[in-house]
Structure 1
Amino acid sequence: MSLRTKFMLALLFTGLAAVAMVGGLAYAGMTKKVDSLRRERAAEHFHASVTAYLAQYGSWEANRGKQGFDAFMRSRGPLAGDRPPPPDDERRPPPPGAGRPEPRGEPPYHFILADQEYRVLLGAGVYKHGELLPEAARKNAQAVEVNGRVVAYVSPEGVITPSRQELQYLAAMRDALWFGVAGAAVLALVLGVLLSRGLGRTLGHLTGAVRAMHGGSLLQRVPVESKDEVAELAAAFNAMSEKLARTHEELNASHQTILTQAEQMRELSVRDALTKLHNRRHFDEQACTLFSHAVRHKRPLSMVIGDIDFFKKINDQFSHATGDAVLRQVGEILRSHMRLSDLVARYGGEEFVIAFPETELPQAAALCDKLRAMIEAFPWHQVHPELKVTMSMGVYADLAAGTAEAMLQKADALLYRAKETGRNRVCFAA
């Protein structure tokens, strides 16, 4: 059930309950008031009738008791406000089989009458004839005096039959109450529709905006169509949405900055500052991975270690700045002639290392000799007129060494062999 339906039902039930409560209380109060006035007038009329009857006949039994009193009451006429009995010539006989008709002109009330000794003469269906009136009933009994002497007592207890006019009045009150309930229901429905329409529309906008925010679109605006609490909620939602969107953009920018800086820091941590090649730590980590992959899949892997010949002499003879320029240029030659799958790094000082995955020893040795020749043929005189640079290399490709580190040690031994046999050459062994 939607909130709009709940709101309309709540308003409807509230209106009906209010009208029913007010109408019911009014109806009960009016009924009680009518009954009280009716009983009061009836009691006065009954008291006056008893007084007149006893004054005329002297005693209760003088004119056949109750029958004589009923005839006397009919002769006095109805109570004010009651419909008088129809004349005898207007009375119609009852239809056959209808039973004995009730006597007309019967007074619409029956009160309790007792003699001067509180013995019941008329019990009104409450007490039997001749029964002694209880003490509780005597307290409210009114004395009937004739010629200054108390001859009877009248108790207000008894049965009051509403008159036709009173019944019509009460029926009209009930009809008015029902009309009021129906009018309240219609009014509540109309108000519910009018009020819930705006409420439902705003809540619908809010629901759609929240779903859009859940989908990732944080900047949402809900129309503010009134000045009530719902409008305040919509305005607060708009402000929150703008702040969230702005904060999200700032966080994204900060996140991108952090990622960029983290990548830069990571690169700095694995790069050699002078040659821009990978450093020894990165090479050792990646070489272990390449070795494990080669062993697992039984694929070839060649390890190379190279050293610039007479590098200390270059530093001493031409300056450390020249030595740095040589390292940078050698690193650039190596880097620019590597395949995407190859791994090259500055291992320390004037030493460089290379890992050739998926490369057999003869192919790796040929690549290294090509690199050696390119280093030797580079126009080093542009760096210094008297400068000449060569490199010696050792190549090893036997996975039986057991680890990548062991393969590098084997390649290093071959490098020293190249140094001992004249430098500027590539030594290799399977």
Structure 2
Amino acid sequence: MLNSLRTKLTLSMLITSLAAISVMALITPWLLEQRFVNEAREVHFKGFVRAIEEFRQDHQEWGGRQSALLINQYLSNRQAAPIRPALSDQRPTVSNSFRFVLTDHQGFVFLPFFEYELGQQLSAEQLQQANPLTLDGELVGYALGGGELPLTDQDKSYLLIQSRSMLIGAAAGLAVTLLLSLTMGSQLVKHLQALTRAAIEMSKGNLNQRVQVEGKDEVALLAREFNRMAQELNNTYAELKASNETIKAQAEAMQELSLRDELTGLHNRRYFNQQFRLMHHQAIRYQDALALALGDIDNFKQINDRFSHHIGDAVLKQVAVLMQKEIREADVLARYGGEEFVILMAHTDKRQAEGLIDRIRAKVEAWPWHQLASELHVTISFGISDKLDSDLGHSMLVEADNRLYQAKDLGRNRVCV
């Protein structure tokens, strides 16, 4: 596979170089030809302007159909039609197939070719496609070019030299590319081989592996990260062998599971009782406020009977989620049993607790229960107490329970304090 990687790297660099050279080989001749065409047109345009200038020196009138006929006759008499400027000492030259149609500044043709006639006035659209002829910044006429521009022997020789130069450059570029790809590819493959061997050794349990790769490229970065992870793994393995942290972590996880309700993921009644005794004792000792809320899902038995126990379980889990989103970090939320929930709120009196619990009640009522079952509607009732007596919290639980029954008797879906 590594040899294949080297081959792919070499081929990719060669293909990239070939593609770049091919594009240049296609574009350069076209650019040169455009240059020859532009130079030929400029030479001809200068000749046309000189002819018009000579005519204007001998004739006062310039512009219009009559003027076009006069300059045509004038040029014919001077053996200047078709107009061909002296190009023997200039490059590029043109053949008879490379023609121009000339008009005055008003668009009247005085040198016709192709389908154009002497004295014909070109439309505005046709003039937009023509090349303007100017004399000292003044518009004196238009030229419409047509036909193919042939290349002279000098032009062809110039293009041949260019092509040979490009071929020599391409060969040199390919040679350099091949040399670089082989050199860099060999170095890259060597580093990857070292990484592969180290990874295989680690998979066999030999964790003390290091890869020596210098530089700042991606392979060097990969090697450094590999060395770092290998060192961390080696350290972790050594620590695990020297201690009983794994056993301790497992024991703590099992302890946590024993304090969680399996269905809702909330803490269970056992955990609540532990926290309640501790927080109740601290509230009395430091004369701090403590509130307890008991909640019960309204008509839960009817939900089970009408919609199935599966829907009932889904309701319990969703209510648990809604309550968890509203309680504070310091609050204790637990499933007390069946459809009952209990919330313990430190540093909170019953009025403060009432605001929090009523938000929970409203959230439960407003949640789209039809997503679980059509015509399903769920509400919850709460009873709140902040009574602190030296009876391990028994009176607080009794009072909260009484307030919960009061909420039920008053029509459910309410909070009683």
Instruction: Give me the TM-score of the superposition, normalised by structure 1.
Output: 0.41
Instruction: Give me the TM-score of the superposition, normalised by structure 2.
Output: 0.42
